[in-house]
Structure 1
Amino acid sequence: MKYRVAALSADLTDLPPTMNNSTILTKIPFRHTVKLIEKTESNLWKVKLLNTDKEGYVAADDLEPFDSNLLKQSDIEIPNFEATSLSSLNSKIETYKPIGDSSIPFRDLSSVASKLKSIEKIIEILNVSKSYRYEKDESDTYCNVYAFDYCFFNRVYIPRLRWTDKALVELEKGNEVSLIFNDTVRPFYTNYLYDWFVESSSEFGWQKVSDVDTLQKMVNENGGIGIISAKRFIIHKSGHIVVVVPETEDHKAFRKNGKVIYPLQSQAGYDNYNYFAEERKDWWANQDPEKGYSSAIFYYHD
């Protein structure tokens, strides 16, 4: 019988976590599929993590039954690599994997105050304006990488990878597929991210917001995560994605007559900013056919 993770993530341990010497092998991402090996007498089940050789124990409460015979493409597990130390702020190696750095905190969901404080710390440590990981080069800018990292440490999901067509064929048959970069999985670029927000993000807790004033209020008041995603007129050119972040004592959105016109944002791209608002004005409304955006959307996640 197959199950999948119903929680934001679930700990896979080498021994039942009730034992003092158990070790967390990995955090299994939301919607990732596992194969049940044994239901123990406790609430901890032994499972195999599909598409890997890892086995261990996970809390049954974090799982939901999954019938692969009724598989729809929207049900296919999300391709996610584990965090690794090779993926770091000082390197461009394996930027398709989450950063494996224990000094970077995750958002503290205990209260609004703890959320706001930890978000500020995440921005400070990721330090997008200085970190080599996000520096533009001759071929690329890294807005999608920064947006993924920011969301990862804030405990919300946006995709970094997508299955290739040949991998989907096997997955739709219920077969396991190994994660091989540029073979079974490829990067999720910004124009794809726009489509993902429109088509699939609501399944992962995102909600569409009508305007930037509302988005900034929601982010400020709840310690939540805001996104602006814009799609290019020229589809083979990169779109853009930024995160809308809570205002602080030192960093504010730009308002006119009390209404937010340019929200407080953080981005990688042609220029990298830990915080910005008025500097790029309403960049998402640029209608230049060569450099502008055909459409832009605003999304929020608690």
Structure 2
Amino acid sequence: MPDAESIRWFKEAFHEEVAAAVAGTPFDLDMVAAIACQETGPVWSALRRKGMGRAEILALCVGDTLDADRGRRAFPRTKAELLAAPRGAEMFALAREALVRMAAHVPSYAAAAKRPDKFCHGFGLFQCDLQLFQKDPDHFLGRRYEDFGHCLAHCVGELRRGLVKAGLEGRARISDEEFACVAIAYNTGGFRPAKGLKQGFFNGQRFYGEEVFGFVRLSRTVALPGALPAIAPPAPNEAILPPPTAPAGETADFVVRTLEAPLRVRSEPRVSDPPGRNVVAHLPDGHPVRRTGGRKADRFWAIETSLFGAHVAGFASSRFLEPAAAPVPIPVLAPAAAPAPAAPAVVAPAAADPPAAPVPARSVAGIPAVLMPRRAGMVTTRRAPAGAHSLNEPGQPAREGATPAELVRSMGAVVDWLAVEKEAHLRYRPRDGLTFCNIYAHDACHLAGAYLPRVWWTPRALLDLAAGRAVEPRIGDTIGEVRANSLFLWLRDFGLDFGWRQTGTLDKLQLAANEGALGVIVARRKEDGRSGHIALVVAETEAERARRNAAGAVVAPLQSQAGATNFRRGTGRVDWWRGEEFAESAFWIHA
């Protein structure tokens, strides 16, 4: 599997040729590197570790030995079909030799090489398929696939055709997700928006589109010498998340002035029925915005801004937008970097205690993360009724991994282990009019290595901590339990300092979860005494998917929740967070 060092080799070896080939297209070096990683990455990444030179590596970049019995439908489906074609025997000999030579260096192909009827169907760094042999036999028999420039030209040509298939032709720039859609068309010859990135070749864990997207993101964490990466490399066991999307302009010409409540930003220039149905964000009083459309007399103006890291674009009432006295910078806030974790608080620790997950040690102005202290030997399990302590069961899983597939698999194991819907797990079962969405969200994030508080410091304790005074966590004195309404406020006030940031769309929220990151939807009730709600957004599986419209936009992400109804994975009620019972809502992600 190609890693960051392999991608660095690719970039340093080929960046000049790639830059020339993609000029005038929406593609870039990271996108081309992603195709190379997906197509032959296991081959060239292994060969470059052996110290082979560029020419030898390019000559050995072959692959794909699947025949008709394993699902191949394109020519040649079998050895017999290739031999029956003009010059087929010559081609088989070359394809067979290529497999044997490559398998001598790449152990995963050794078993196929031992079978005399097996041969390669893909040639070159970007895997030109043997189905083109009937049209251009000299490309294969003349070994043109060993020439990087020739392979690159073919790859870019196919990607251009993929732009058309994905409905993106004529675009000067495309996003990484859109490129993955193009790559799906590159792989399959078509693209179905309603299926998202779960299309193309399936390797048993991830689809072609998902893998290419992951490789683009990984490539963006690797910089050429003397440059900075577009995305900071992730901390161990965390996902790659891009920096927040900045507004098109750096300064604002208006500020929010409501003097009453946050300003609703809507998806269209009208008030919906019910009023909250088309709300996409809530902007606080005094927040800077750019007007991007609308006349002075219009009731609604098109605006954009950034809010806790989320790019917000939509329509807002012009009545509550006041001209700024001078251009106002629009801050684009990003989460704080993650230091090493700190040990959890235990009163009089005992050797017999089961291991507890460490508390992530992010902090703001000297204010650390805090867990409910426990007596020595106390074990908090899923089978006990809900309380303020965090789980510390023996053998509880954690989110671990260096790749999106590993992070998704381990986070899926966390969700399955918590088994929120299980009757025996009293910790999450509704009782006496109470529901426990906040506890379930805390447990999942706790096991995933992200801090979402179950208890938090009281206002007096926060003042003492900010002043540099030592504070001991004591329930009912210096710390108190945190419920869903309070989690909404905590994320707004402290989330960035503990690795969380807002994201502006369901597409970005689901995409982050699909790459192994954490995502939550949180909504605050209008009445402080009533329960708000928080739900996890989890990675899609083969069988369980987010709901998308015909254009491919997510309308209901795949969620996991405790509440009036507990479910491990499901899409729930569409737009539940926009219900009239809620004052405001937000989407948050954590690497």
- The answer, yes or no, to whether TM exceeds 0.5 is yes
Mapping 1:85-234, distance limit 5 Å:
85-92=378-385, 95-130=387-422, 131-168=425-462, 170-172=464-466, 174-220=468-514, 222-234=515-527
The residue type equivalent to 2:457 in the other structure is W
Change (3 A) 1:102 1:114: farther
Question: 1:116-173: per-residue Cα shift (whole Å, max 9, x none)?
Answer: 1111111111000112110111142100000000001111111111222443454455
2:283 counterpart of 1:283: no
Give the structure-1-normalised TM-score: 0.72
Q: Which of 354, 359, 370 is equivalent to 1:29?
A: 359
Quote the Cα distance in structure 2 between the aligned partners of 1:170 and 1:226: 32
Pick aligned residue for 1:296 from 585, 588, 591: 585
Distance in 1 (alpha carbons) for counterparts of 2:440 and 2:507: 23
Separation (CA, whole Å) in 2 of partners of 1:90 and 1:26? 17
Q: Structure 1 residue 281: deviation in Å?
A: 1.8
Looking at structure 2, the residues matched to 252 and 243 of structure 1 have their Cα atoms a distance apart, in angstroms, of 14
Query: 1:121 and 1:190, CA in 2 relative to 1: closer, same or farther beyond 3 A?
Result: same
Tell me how far 1:299 sits from its aligned partner: 0.9
1:164/1:186 contact within 8 Å kept: yes
TM, length-normalised to structure 2: 0.38
**Aligned residue pairs, count:** 242
Provide the identity percentage: 30
Letter in 2 for 1:120: G
Which structure is larger by alpha-carbon Rg, 1 or 2? Answer: 2
Structure 2 runs not aligned, ≥5 long: 1-336, 345-352
Measured in 2, the distance between the counterparts of 1:226 and 1:117 equals 15
C-alpha contact (below 8 Å) 2:484/2:532 kept by paired residues: yes
Partner residue of 1:239?
532
More displaced 10-residue stretch of structure 1: 156-165 or 126-135:
156-165
Q: Compare relative contact order (CA 8 Å, sep 6+) and give the higher one, 1 or 2.
A: 1
What residue is the counterpart of 2:564 in the other structure? 270
CA–CA separation in structure 1 for the residues paired with 2:409 and 2:462: 40
Q: Counterpart amino acid of 1:152? A: H
Greater strand share, 1 or 2?
1
Residues 174 and 102 of structure 1: CA distance in aligned 2, closer, same or farther (over 3 Å): same
Equivalent residues of 1:9, 1:27 under 8 A apart: no
Is the aligned partner of 1:79 residue 2:370?
Answer: yes
Mapped partners of 1:27, 1:153: distance in 2: 7
Change (3 A) 1:284 1:219: same
Consecutive unaligned residues in structure 1, runs of 5 or more = 13-22, 34-72
2:553 counterpart residue number: 259
**How far off is 1:211 after superposition?**
1.3
Does the Cα contact within 8 Å between 1:96 and 1:187 map onto a contact in 2?
yes
Deviation, 1:253, is: 0.7
Q: Identify the residue that residue 7 of structure 1 maps to in structure 2.
A: 339
Tell me, in whole angstroms, the C-alpha distance in 2 between the residues paired with 1:99 and 1:159.
Answer: 13
Q: Which moved more, 1:130-139 or 1:163-172?
A: 163-172
Shift of 1:196: 1.6
Alignment root-mean-square deviation, CA: 2.7
CA–CA distance in structure 2, aligned partners of residues 226 and 108 of structure 1: 16
SS of residue paired to 2:519: strand
Return closer, same or farther for 1:166/1:251 CA change in 2, 3 Å cut-off.
same
